[in-house]
Amino acid sequence: MFNQLEEINSRPRPFEFYTASELWTDEYTSKQMLSFHLNGDIDVSSRTFSFINKSVNWMISEFDIHEGKSVADFGCGPGLYTERLAKTNAAVTGIDFSKNSLEYAKNRARDEKLDIDYVNQNYLEFNSAHKYDLIIMIFCDFCALSPGQRKTLLEKFKTLLKPDGSILLDAYLINAFNQKAESATYAVNQNNFWSPGKYYEFLNTFKYDDVKVTLDKYTIIEKSRTRTIFNWLQYYDKKSIANEFAANGLKLERYLANVAGDEFEADANEFAIVAKARM
For the cut 90, the answer to whether the pLDDT of residue 10 exceeds it is yes
Give residue 20's pLDDT band: very low, low, confident or very high (50, 70, 90). confident
- Can you say whether residue 173 is alpha, beta or left, with left for phi > 0 and alpha for psi between -120 and 50 degrees? beta
Whether 64 shows a pLDDT value over 80: the answer reads yes
Residue 196 Cα distances to 189, 191, 201, 224, 260, angstroms: 8, 9, 13, 13, 37
Write down the pLDDT at residue 253.
97
Q: What is the dihedral of CA 95, 23, 30, 106, to 10 degrees?
A: 0
pLDDT band at 278; cut points 50, 70, 90: confident
Residue 257: partners with Cβ closer than 8 Å, 6 or more residues away: 263, 264, 265, 268, 270, 271, 272
The average pLDDT across 240-262 equals: 98
Lowest mean pLDDT among 26-30, 209-213, 234-238: 26-30
Does the pLDDT value for residue 279 go beyond 80? no
pLDDT over 90 (residue 24):
no
pLDDT value of position 210: 98
pTM over 0.75, yes/no: yes
- Mean pLDDT, the chain, integer: 95
C-alpha separations of 18 from 59, 132, 229 in Å: 31, 28, 8
Domain 27-173+235-277: CATH superfamily is: Vaccinia Virus protein VP39 (3.40.50.150)
Per-position DSSP letters for 188-227, written without gaps between them = ESSTT-S-SS-EEEEEEEEEETTTTEEEEEEEEEESS-EE
Domain residue ranges of the chain, discontinuous segments joined by +: 2-19+176-233, 27-173+235-277
Average pLDDT (4-32) is 90
Task: Provide the sign of the torsion angle of the four alpha carbons 253, 255, 259, 264, taken in this order.
Answer: negative
Mean pLDDT to the nearest integer, 13-26: 87
Query: What is the average per-residue pLDDT within 222-237?
Result: 96
To the nearest whole percent, how much of the chain has pLDDT over 70?
Answer: 100
First to last CA, the chain: 58
Looking at the DSSP bridge assignments, the partners of residue 134 are: 71, 166
For residue 81, the model assigns a pLDDT of 98
Return the half-sphere exposure (C-beta side, CA atoms, 13 A cut-off) of residue 122. 12
The predicted-structure confidence for 173-220, as pLDDT tens digits, reads as follows: 999 999 999 999 999 998 899 999 999 999 999 999 999 999 999 999
138 CA to centre of own chain = 6
Question: Rounded distance, CA 162 to CA 206, Å?
Answer: 40
The answer on pLDDT for 36 being more than 90 is no
When pLDDT is cut at 50, 70 and 90, the band that residue 29 belongs to is confident
Q: Which of 211, 141, 135, 213 has the alpha carbon at shortest distance from 170?
A: 141
Nearest to 56 by CA among 42, 30, 76: 76
Adjacent-strand bridge partners of 200 = 188, 221
